[in-house]
Structures are given as C-alpha cells and as structure tokens.
Amino acid sequence: MARLILVLGDQLSATLSALQAGDKNTDTVVMAEVAQEGTYVRHHPKKIALVLAAMRKFAGHLREEGWDVAYTCLEDKDNTDTIADELLRRAQQTGAEEVIATTPGEWRLIRDLQSLPLKVSLKPDKRFIATRADFVDWAEGRKQLRMEYFYREMRRKTGLLMEGDKPAGGKWNFDHDNRKAPPKAITGTGPMQFTPDAETEEVLDLVQRRFGDHFGDLRPFHFAVTRSDALLALDQFIREGLPLFGDYQDAMLRGEKWLYHSVLSPYLNIGLLEPFEVCRAAEEAWEKGDVPINAAEGFIRQILGWREFVRGIYFLEGEEYPTRNALDHTRALPSLYWGAETEMRCLSEAVSQTREEAYAHHIQRLMVTGNFALLAGINPTEVHEWYLAVYADAFEWVEAPNTVGMSQFADGGIVGSKPYVSSGAYINRMSDYCKSCAYKVSQKVGEGACPFNLLYWHFLARHRERFAGNPRMGNMYRTWDRMAEDRRAQVISEAENFLARMEAGDRV
C-alpha cells in the first residue's frame, strides 16, 4: 500500500527517520511550501527564504536518490496553504491511507498531524543526541533541572572531551575563561557567505512578493541552502572562528555582527548539519592543537549541553509551556523591537542587526533585548513570538525554552535558578555600546541615567516577595536596602516615568 512520507522545512536531513522508514518503490515524499508556516508568526523574510530555498534543494537531492517527491511551491494554483491540507490533497491523488512523519519540533504541528483522518505514524527524531525518553529518564525525580548536570551526562554518553571517565583538561566547564571584554579588533572574516544561484534567486523574488512587508531585510542573502555548503561553513568556522570563540563569545562590538560566532545554528536547526558531527569537528580541532580547550568546550556545550537540554524541556513541559507567565508581566512589546528609533545604543544595535541579518548572538539576545524585556515587564508571550519570528534559527522547540525560560523567567525557574537581569554595568563591561549612547551608564538616577540602571532596581523592588529568598539574589536586595529611602523613591519614580513614556510611544 502506498504511503506518504512527510518532510518538513526543518527536517532536511538524509538521515531523517521518516525517510528511513519509507520505501522508494512505493511511497511518495510530500514537501510543501505553505502560507501558514510563514505567517502563524510573521517570520523574517531571510528566514522564510532560507527554509524555502533549502527545501527546494533538498527535494532535488531526494529525486536524485530515487524518491518520488510531490512538491508544492508556494504559488502553485492548487496549494491549500497548510501542511495538513496538503497531505489530504496528496492522499487523494495517490490513494495513500497512511502518513509517515518524523515528529515535528512544535506542538502545533504535532496536533495538526494527529487530527488528520489518516493513519499517522510519528517516528522519533533521531537527529538529536538525546532522545526524548533519555531526557525524561534523566529528569525523573530531580527537584531542579539544571543544564550543567545534564551536560555532564551527555559528555559521558558521547565521550566528547572525555579522558576515560574524567573531563578533558580536568574541568567540565571552562566558562570562567570565556568572558573577556571585546577585543580592539576582530581578526576573522566572519561566517562563510554564499552567493545565491538562479533557483535561490527565484525564491528570493517569491519571498519579496509574498512576505516583503514582514520585519527584516531580505537582501543581501548569504545563507547556505545545501548540506555541502553548510559543511563548508562548518569547516571555515573551525579554522577561523573557533580558536578565539571561547574568549570572546560574550563580547559585543558596534559594527561587528559576527565576532567569532559560528552562525551554524540555522543549518543545525533545519537539518543541513547534525549536532554530533559539529561537536566532533570542534573536538578534533582541539585534539590537533588547533584550538584551546576553553573554545572547544564552550562551543560543544552550546550544542551538546544547551541545545539538547532545551529540547528536552520543551517536550517535557508540554504544549502550554510557551504561554507561561510566572511573573505576571503584561506590558505590550514596545515598537523599538520593530525598529522604532531609540536612544539606547545597545538595543538599537541589537535590533538593527536582527532586522538586517535575522541573527544576533546569544548575549545580544539574552542580556540586551531579553534583559530589557524582562526588566520592563513585557508580556513574555509577545517576547516569545518576537524571537520566534525574527531569527533564522528560531523554531519553537529551541526558541521557547530559551525565551520563556532562560530569558524571561516566565516558567518560574524551570530552566534557570534566577532571572537573568542586570544593570547597564554588564553591557558596558562586555561591549563598546555605552561609549556612544545618549544615556550615561555610570549615572544611576537623574537626567541621562541609563534606563537599565533604573529598571534593574524597579524589577527587584516589584518582585521582592518572589526573589528576596533566592540565595543567588540576596546581595542585590541588601544593596537596595542600604540605599537611602529618598534615593529608592527616586529610582522607582524615574523608572515608572520611563516606562510610561515608552508605553505612550515616545522615543526613549
């Protein structure tokens, strides 16, 4: 009996479990560009173009491998505009009564597939190093789920950076060595960039027509859209970026979008690269003496530790996880996240880079845009939807725990043991943004005071009941309590004035 093999736009891997379960002689691969996937949040045009161009290339690869591929382009006249309806249309055409799919990375799509009036066989996604069952087993009985301990188990499981049963270099974590302030100059060339071919240019024209009003610049477009090019990008990063990645992974510089970051996460998250091969490439570079251990370990931890951990959290916590709001934050996402002018240099830099590249590195996301949203009490669902929309590597399984959990503490402490909040001092230490800012990072109150300074104390004051007993936050509250009463009142008053002006749409 003929079956349909569904391949989604973030499942572009020859090792996909649905393909491995299929039969080239009888089954039909279904791939579809549908409007719903580009608009359930208003995705960045570069992100849409990356996925669609890579889908078309992968469909061509499957045909070369002997598969019958039923491919729906976005502007095909018979396009039904949803994945579920495209499966029903193809089932009617072929007479298939069963769909084989690798489990999607979003509860939304899992629910859509399970609602089909067809037999749907969901296969586990074997492209991850930890299975969902592995994570459940690890999490069972633990009072707190902390990435560091999960990461150690993953190191033992894979043998990556291990010397017998001990961590290479004598430590599990070299993060202490990875917090250097920005260098005076960047020596690398950044991630490898690719010139679109004719097929990709067709996709770019299509995206401009259909999604040109979405936030973000479509061109220039330099992403890899094939596995072979993604492997070239990996090789260049290992040679040029990784040696200094560890030292400066938290640094931020005006005019330097990439520093020593890999920008491989989009390729990992749509399936052009697989996590173990990327980790192994970093380990091999360390074994050869080409990179220091702090760089190799820090990079591997982001993939083997954090990426695998947040996927486990997403599926463990269930489909309502992205809607959580433990701190009851309700303020609307301000227009500056969509490019409205702001006097805050750090936010202006992060948002403009996001608009141009559909990319910002983890500290820009966590400690600039995320930190501000948390301090300002922005509704975490709106923050979540913004991150999901604007970044090329954002798919809900990875984005939601990073945003709802790590960035916004909206899950109440499942992902992090304390909220990631800071005053302007952290941004000043890790960047050169403050030097050209209209606000003064050294000023705590009064005209020109850095909004991060005001909002930091405002956040702590309004959430004192929740956080005063947190052992990692006690010093913050003791500092607040030592301030003169009139000083504390001035901080609160100026913070609330700032928030009121922001809500009114004033330039802040």
The string of pLDDT tens digits covering residues 405-424 is 999 999 999 999 999 999 99
The pLDDT of residue 156 is 97
**pLDDT per position as a tens digit, 50-93:** 999 999 999 999 999 999 999 999 999 999 999 999 999 999 99
How many domains are there within the chain? Answer: 3
The pLDDT of residue 147 is 95
Give the CATH number of the domain where residue 247 resides: 1.25.40.80
**pLDDT per position as a tens digit, 430-445:** 999 999 999 999 999 9
Flag whether 323 is in a domain. Answer: no
Flag whether 403 is in a domain. Answer: yes
Looking at the structure, tell me whether residues 308 and 375 fall in a common domain: no
Domain of 306 in residue numbering reads as 132-195+224-317
Looking at the structure, tell me whether residues 189 and 105 fall in a common domain: no
Give the CATH number of the domain where residue 480 resides: 1.10.579.10
The pLDDT of residue 302 is 97
Looking at the structure, tell me whether residues 421 and 486 fall in a common domain: yes
Tally Cβ neighbours within 10 Å of residue 60.
14
Q: For residue 182, what pLDDT band results from cuts at 50, 70 and 90?
A: confident
**Could you give the CA distance from residue 324 to residue 328 in angstroms, rounded to a whole number?**
9
Flag whether 482 is in a domain. Answer: yes
Flag whether 293 is in a domain. Answer: yes
**Residue 388 near residue 435, CB atoms below 8 Å:** no
**pLDDT per position as a tens digit, 192-212:** 999 999 999 999 999 999 999
Looking at the structure, tell me whether residues 415 and 450 fall in a common domain: yes
Q: Is the dihedral of CA 493, 498, 501, 503 positive or negative?
A: negative
**Could you give the CA distance from residue 29 to residue 70 in angstroms, rounded to a whole number?**
6
**pLDDT per position as a tens digit, 154-170:** 999 999 999 999 999 99
**Residue 56 near residue 199, CB atoms below 8 Å:** yes
The pLDDT of residue 188 is 81
**pLDDT per position as a tens digit, 116-155:** 999 999 999 999 999 999 999 999 999 999 999 999 999 9
HSE value, Cβ hemisphere, 13 Å, CA-based, for 284:
10
pLDDT at 176 over 90: no
The stretch 337-351 carries a mean pLDDT of 97
Q: Which helix (H) or strand (E) holds 121?
A: strand 119-123
Looking at the structure, tell me whether residues 151 and 298 fall in a common domain: yes
**Residue 260 near residue 362, CB atoms below 8 Å:** no
Looking at the structure, tell me whether residues 311 and 405 fall in a common domain: no
Looking at the structure, tell me whether residues 190 and 47 fall in a common domain: no
Of the three residues 71, 102, 123, the one that is the final residue of a domain is 123
Looking at the structure, tell me whether residues 231 and 94 fall in a common domain: no
**pLDDT per position as a tens digit, 215-269:** 999 999 999 999 999 999 999 999 999 999 999 999 999 999 999 999 999 999 9
Looking at the structure, tell me whether residues 341 and 480 fall in a common domain: yes
**Residue 311 near residue 138, CB atoms below 8 Å:** no
The pLDDT of residue 185 is 84
pLDDT at 184 over 90: no
Nearest Cα to 337, choosing from 154, 484, 215?
A: 215
Flag whether 118 is in a domain. Answer: yes
pLDDT at 1 over 80: no
pTM of the model: 0.96
Q: What is the mean pLDDT of the chain?
A: 96
**Residue 253 near residue 431, CB atoms below 8 Å:** yes
The pLDDT of residue 169 is 94
Of the three residues 288, 317, 346, the one that is the final residue of a domain is 317
Looking at the structure, tell me whether residues 101 and 232 fall in a common domain: no
Q: For residue 181, what pLDDT band results from cuts at 50, 70 and 90?
A: confident
Which amino acid is it at 154?
M
Looking at the structure, tell me whether residues 179 and 257 fall in a common domain: yes
Looking at the structure, tell me whether residues 117 and 136 fall in a common domain: no
**Residue 385 near residue 106, CB atoms below 8 Å:** no
Residues in the chain: 508
Of the three residues 123, 153, 182, the one that is the final residue of a domain is 123
Give the CATH number of the domain where residue 97 resides: 3.40.50.620
